[in-house]
Chain A
Amino acid sequence: MTATSRPPTFLGLPTAQRPSLPTAPRGVGHLRGDRSFPDAARDALRDGQLRANLGHATSTIRAKRAAVVGEVPDWEELRQAGKALKQATMARLDELLVQLEEQVTARGGTVHWARDATEANEIVTRLVRATGADEVVKVKSMATQEIGLNEALEAAGIAAHETDLAELIVQLGEDEPSHILVPAIHKNRAEIREIFLRTMPQFAEPGAAAELTDEPRRLAMAARAHLRERFLRARVAVSGANFAVAETGTLAVVESEGNGRMCLTLPQTLITVMGIEKLVPTWQDLEVFLQLLPRSSTGERMNPYTSLWTGVTPGDGPQEFHLVLLDNGRTAVLADEVGREALHCIRCSACLNVCPVYERAGGHAYGSVYPGPIGAVLSPQLTGVEDNASLPYASSLCGACYDACPVAIDIPSILVHLRAEHVEAQQRTTPEAAAFRALSRAMSSPWLWRLAQRAAGLGRFLSRGGPTLPVALPPPASAWTRSRDLPTPPRETFTQAWAREHGR
């Protein structure tokens, strides 16, 4: 999917001084890993099954996406409109949020504001308690994963049942999601069958296990049976939102399985947790995003179900509706003129599926609910870059994410920008910084540079006349020579030879 008409990828860095605003608090939610990306990736790279599952899944979905995007003649125009709409939203975010609040309230909903994960969890817990329910059904939602809502509810004695098939697999397997759209992408059918047999009460009877094969259809039907009764008895549902329309107060959830519809329709009370950036200004604007999202995410012309609702409708669906608007570091992202573009993300996961690093390292290596290229630029901004300092480097800057992104987020430029933010946040001079500073001095003075190049030529000495440098170089060069040879520097540089031959 490379269209030559498209503007080129851009590793840019305009000027900005960001005001400092509170980031997502530590100790709650899932935005920080306990290991650096390279360390976590190493385990994933060693797991052959995981790599096979990921390779298969990402290449399948890449091909599907390319086919359905290719059939839209005005894709690039939609993409540019999507980008402009998101820029326009961010430029008036305060105004639009107030408008959304007015509209939702006028139509019978209640709006709550949460500064951070802790506050959002408290609000939802309080709302559930007020209904007297001790369980909720959940629609897959990145925002509630981000804030660790399930754990918070559990601590309050409220069971949260995930109802999306992949989320269910992850929840039953006591695992972590590894993809925005297909959270169980790292599991294959045999592994899923094993989890279901182990955890679903319907297979507890001796002999019942034989009914469950590893055929995807059988597994999906097992999930249907497992959840059916939960949907019918649920009194409270918790959802996220893909979009909210400021003009009308309309909320949208885009899904495939119908679990979303179950949650959004059957319970008496609906609580929706939404990041403040999910807004679009007008109803008409949805015409852009409802075209961009399904083709980019599942590679379908349209996803099976999209639910749109505004406040409360008497006689149809939940009669009590709460909308929780979540900051949790988003305003800190907004404060960065370069980085704020990450807030335009519509969570389609196209950038994950095309990313060569994600494909090898898998989602868990990113240590956050937001994996892949978008995670590498979003998580460090939500937490403050020092809490996720290895993520901006988890990219070869190949630019595939930018090309695939339906709202044209220039992820490579944000990565480069965040690397600089990290470097500039260091109080002490690291060995790397010292090296780059020395190199900078040499490279800004022609005669010093010639001197340095001659010293590099001394590397020949290490090779003892061999064609390549020895394998056992000290770090950081050893990271290179573990798997690749390094050519021995030549006796003479090109500029030296040229000057000699042409008398300069």
Chain B
Amino acid sequence: MTGARDEVLGRIRTALGPDRRPAPEVHRHYRRSDGRPVAELLDVLTDRLEDYAATVLRCSPEAVGATVAAALDAGLGVGWAPAGVVVAPGLPAAWRPDGVSEDDGRPAVGLTAFAATVTGVAVAVAETGTLVLDGGARSGRRALSLLPDCLVCVVETGQVVGGVPEALARLDATAPLTMVSGPSATSDIELSRVEGVHGPRTLVVVLMG
């Protein structure tokens, strides 16, 4: 084991030579922040999410609970059973429709029993239409947003940033992160896009503001 490690590191040193060239300076002349007003960012985010075939429901902070219920109507059809819905453990009580279950930490495969999941997010990127879940109490563990076929994500106004650099700056690199941009999709057959392969086939976003 150590043999291979030392040998590979030794090869790298040989390859780079005794007087290796210094690392060049990296110029970050690209955009690192986005000056657009929040209202505009929310519109861009909505546009990009819809472009990826996600459904977006905008609401005021007071109406989140009702809008989550509407999101489940959209995702599961009216008359869905609350028992088929699981929510992240840290989801605020006001956001939870009546009768839904909280993730109880059962073995991950057990989550296939649910038809839909409701979670919060850590940050959302307007320009790319991306939601980032960070494994925290609001986002829930990774399997939670993966196995049920419908995913409802609640995004708060303050969580929306313009571009990727701002999003990464807000995240903890060592958390288990999942970036979600629309429902799962494939373009493997003649480059024609099909939504919904292994991940949730339906993505509904409740966007505050």
Contact = CB atoms under 8 A, between A and B. Distances in A.
A and B touch in the complex (CB under 8 A): yes
A302 B130 contact: yes
Interface string A207-227: 000000000110110011001
A50 interface: no
Contact of B179 (A22, A74, A119, A305): A305
A335 interface: yes
Interface stretch (A252-260, A401-409, A469-477): A252-260
A294 B182 CA distance: 14
Contact of B1 (A73, A113, A302): A113
A164 B185 CA distance: 11
B11 to A, nearest CB: 4
Interface in B21-42: 21-32
A78 B30 contact: yes
A105 B1 CA distance: 15
A220 B23 contact: no
B146 interface: yes
Given A256-B187, A304-B184, A113 B5 contact: yes
B36 to A, nearest CB: 13
A302 B132 CA distance: 12
Nearest to A106: B174
Interface string B102-118: 00010011001000000
B1 A313 contact: no
A309 B178 CA distance: 9
B4 A115 contact: yes
B85 to A, nearest CB: 20
B24 A87 contact: yes
Contacts, number: 249
Contact of A220 (B13, B22, B197): B197
**For B1, B24, B135, B198, which residue has the most chain A Cβ atoms within 10 angstroms?**
B198
Given A92-B23, A257-B198, A304-B52, A310 B188 contact: no
Contacts of A185: 191
A327 B13 CA distance: 13
Contacts of B177: 306-309
Interface stretch (A53-61, A144-152, A197-205): A53-61
A107 interface: yes
A248 interface: yes
A184 B125 CA distance: 32
Chain A's interface size range is 35 or more
A107 B8 contact: no
Contacts of A87: 23-24
B176 A316 contact: yes
28 contacts: A21-B14, A87-B23, A87-B24, A91-B20, A97-B12, A112-B4, A113-B4, A165-B197, A169-B188, A220-B189, A249-B174, A256-B197, A257-B186, A257-B198, A258-B198, A259-B197, A261-B198, A284-B168, A301-B128, A302-B130, A304-B181, A304-B182, A305-B178, A307-B142, A307-B176, A313-B135, A316-B176, A331-B14
Nearest to A94: B12
Contact of A300 (B5, B29, B181, B199): B181
Given A112-B4, A258-B197, 15 more contacts: A21-B15, A88-B26, A91-B16, A91-B23, A97-B8, A164-B188, A216-B192, A264-B142, A266-B108, A266-B143, A301-B48, A313-B175, A315-B141, A316-B143, A317-B176
A84 B198 contact: no
Contacts of B128: 294, 301-302
B74 interface: no
Nearest to A98: B9
Contacts of B191: 56-57, 60-61, 182, 185
Nearest to B174: A310
A291 interface: yes
B94 to A, nearest CB: 26
Interface in B167-209: 168-169, 173-192, 194, 196-200
Contact of B184 (A247, A258, A317, A340): A258
A232 B146 CA distance: 12
B17 interface: yes
B43 interface: no
A384 to B, nearest CB: 15
B4 A298 contact: no
B129 interface: yes
A166 interface: yes
A93 B181 CA distance: 32
B22 to A, nearest CB: 7
A225 to B, nearest CB: 11
A265 interface: yes
Nearest to B107: A266
Contacts of A53: 190
B184 A88 contact: no
Nearest to B51: A301
B73 interface: no
Interface in A280-295: 283-284, 286-288, 290-291, 294
